[in-house]
Each structure stands twice: as C-alpha cells, then as structure tokens.
C-alpha cells in the first residue's frame, strides 16, 4: 500500500531540532493516506500543500522516504495543515468515498463496515443500505438528501480518516495502518 504522490504538510529546511540536519518534510499520501517523513533533495524547498512524487521511480524533489509516522509525530504546522489537505483530498476523491457507501459490506455477523464511521449507528446503517438498494448514491449531496438526518458524509469520512491516522484502530477503512501495525487490518476502498 504505497502512495505514488503525497501532499506536503510541513517542510523543515534544517530538519527537526533533535535530529540530523537535513531538509525534512512531513507528507500525506494521496491514495492510501500514508503519513510519512521524507528527506528533500538538497536543492529543493518544498511548500505546504505542494504535491510531490514519492513512488518507486526517479524522484525529482524527494531524496528518500525516511519512514512512516502517526499524527503524534506531526509538527504543529503539519497538524494544522492536515485538516485542509484532508478536506481537499476528500473532495477530489468523492467518487471513491461514495463508492465505499455504495459497496460497503458486513465485517462480521454482528458488525457492518458502515458502523466504523463516526455518527453511523445501526439506524443510519440500515437507512444507507435500504437507499442504496433503490439505486447507487451519485455523490455526497445525494446521500444527504436520501438518508434522513445523516451528518455530512465529508465530515464523517474526515473524522474516520483522522482516527485512522492516529493509529491503534482495530480496522482501517481508508488509510493504510501506521508503522508497526498489522497490514491485515486494512479493509480498504
């Protein structure tokens, strides 16, 4: 579950105060939402909200990926920027998230993957399932219109993503599990 591209959350030209002096950036992957620290090439000054290539091929701006991190490791600036970046990525990937609602399945006989979302209990889960049986949801606004009292799907997804980025979840819907966590926990969309 490697991301090819990432959005810069913060750039530290001289690295962390307690670490090696190197141009360091904290980034969020655009597909699997991997939180990473990357070392920039010496001639590069990365900007917040800039998209950079971090895939296996030749990287123009990133020298190497230092490692995975959680939200606890983020700088204050990166933590603040995370909300805005998540908003943008959720909006840009609306089809992907709506597809999750259209295709979500039970995890066990007692729990449905929809119930892992904040503010979605049994009542909302059944309303979502009944509505999608009449036809797929076309977008977030269509969901809000068709499911009574459903909180904004963008907010629900963002809250879930932030919890997953913290780590320590039993299951992951959208983000790859953080460092040192079993990748089998990823349900994925």
Q: What is the DSSP string of 84-127?
A: HHHHHHHHHTHHHHHHHHHH--BSSSS-BGGGGSTT--HHHHHH
- Verify that 172 and 126 share a domain, yes or no: yes
In a domain, 66, yes or no: yes
Do 123 and 183 form a contact (C-beta atoms < 8 A)?
Answer: no
- Verify that 9 and 68 share a domain, yes or no: yes
Q: pLDDT, tens digit, for every residue of 158-187?
A: 999 999 999 888 999 999 887 666 555 556
Host domain of residue 11:
5-75
User: Where is the domain boundary, 42, 75, 108?
Assistant: 75
User: Where is the domain boundary, 40, 75, 110?
Assistant: 75
How high is the pLDDT of residue 17? 79
pLDDT at 188 over 90: no
- Verify that 181 and 97 share a domain, yes or no: yes
In a domain, 49, yes or no: yes
Enumerate long-range contacts of 177-186, CB under 8 Å, 24 or more apart.
178/35, 178/68, 178/69, 178/70, 179/67, 179/68, 179/69, 179/70, 183/1, 186/1
- Verify that 59 and 111 share a domain, yes or no: no
From CA 38, how far away is CA 27, in angstroms rounded? 7
- Verify that 154 and 121 share a domain, yes or no: yes
CATH label of the domain that carries residue 59: 2.40.50.140
How high is the pLDDT of residue 1? 81
User: Where is the domain boundary, 75, 104, 132?
Assistant: 75
In a domain, 81, yes or no: no
Q: pLDDT, tens digit, for every residue of 49-108?
A: 999 999 999 999 999 999 999 899 999 999 999 999 999 999 999 999 999 999 999 999
- Verify that 143 and 169 share a domain, yes or no: yes
- Verify that 130 and 173 share a domain, yes or no: yes
- Verify that 110 and 181 share a domain, yes or no: yes
How high is the pLDDT of residue 181? 60
How high is the pLDDT of residue 21? 87
Percent of the chain with pLDDT over 90: 81
Arithmetic mean of pLDDT over the chain: 92
- Verify that 99 and 170 share a domain, yes or no: yes
- Verify that 44 and 111 share a domain, yes or no: no
Number of domains in the chain: 2
pLDDT at 34 over 90: yes
In a domain, 87, yes or no: no
- Verify that 105 and 157 share a domain, yes or no: yes
In a domain, 83, yes or no: no
**Which residue, 133, 128, 174, 169, is CA-closest to 150?**
128
- Verify that 102 and 180 share a domain, yes or no: yes
CATH label of the domain that carries residue 107: 1.10.150.280
The pTM score is 0.89
């Amino acid at each position: 579950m490697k991301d090819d591209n990432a959005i810069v959350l913060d750039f530290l030209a001289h690295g962390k105060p307690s670490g090696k002096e190197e141009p360091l950036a904290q980034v969020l992957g655009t597909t699997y939402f991997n939180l990473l620290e990357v070392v920039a090439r010496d001639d590069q000054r990365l900007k917040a909200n800039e998209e950079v290539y971090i895939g296996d091929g030749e990287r123009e701006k990133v020298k190497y990926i230092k490692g995975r991190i959680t939200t606890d490791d983020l700088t204050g600036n990166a933590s603040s920027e995370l909300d805005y970046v998540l908003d943008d990525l959720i909006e840009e990937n609306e089809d992907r998230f709506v597809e999750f609602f259209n295709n979500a399945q039970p995890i066990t006989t007692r729990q449905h993957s929809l119930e892992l979302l904040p503010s979605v209990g049994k009542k909302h889960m059944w309303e979502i399932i009944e509505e999608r049986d009449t036809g797929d949801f076309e977008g977030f606004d269509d969901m809000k219109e068709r499911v009574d009292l459903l909180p904004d799907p963008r907010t629900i997804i963002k809250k879930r993503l932030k919890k997953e980025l913290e780590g320590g979840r039993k299951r992951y819907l959208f983000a790859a599990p953080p460092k040192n966590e079993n990748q089998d926990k990823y349900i994925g969309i």
